[in-house]
Amino acid sequence: MPKLEEWVTLAIPQFDYVGKQDNGLPFVGYRLLPGEILGEDAVPSLTASERSTIAGQIATKTLTCSLTAI
């Protein structure tokens, strides 16, 4: 997630803590971000322009990463 920060205008958490729980599952901790959570329930309430902007930013990063891996 931190690498997304350079590609999107959304607030991205900066992980302050990264580790594993006793059961082996990973966990992270970060400071509370301002604003509202952009969960899948929030996406329908975005305007078409906002959805397009976010999708374009994520698609650009995904394509760049894919081409770099080739």
Segment 46-63 shows an average pLDDT of: 81
CA distance 54 to 38: 11
Q: What does the pLDDT look like over 37-54, one tens digit per residue?
A: 777 787 888 899 988 888
Domain boundaries, the chain: 36-70
- Give the pLDDT score at 26: 94
CA distance 28 to 15: 6
In one letter, which amino acid is 44? Answer: P
Mean pLDDT score across all residues of the chain: 80
CA distance 8 to 6: 6
Q: Which residues contact 5 (CB under 8 A, 6 or more apart)?
A: 12
Taking 60 as the threshold, does the pLDDT of residue 24 lie above it? yes
